[in-house]
Amino acid sequence: MDKPIRVVIVDDHQVVLDGFIARLSLEKDFEV
């Protein structure tokens, strides 16, 4: 299935795509 791109914002204002540090950091879902 085609999932919308999930952008996860980590501590130091770093933007990580879903599948990286997303699981380790607090997950905030933003629809792009």
Domain boundaries, the chain: 1-32
The pLDDT of residue 19 = 56
Residue 32's SS3 state is: coil
Under a CB-based contact definition with an 8 Å cutoff, are residues 29 and 3 in contact? no
The pLDDT of residue 10 = 62
The pLDDT of residue 12 = 59
The pLDDT of residue 4 = 66
The pLDDT of residue 23 = 53
CA atoms within 13 A on the CB side of 7: 7
- pLDDT, tens only, 1-32: 566 666 666 665 555 555 555 555 555 555 55
The pLDDT of residue 32 = 52
The pLDDT of residue 11 = 61
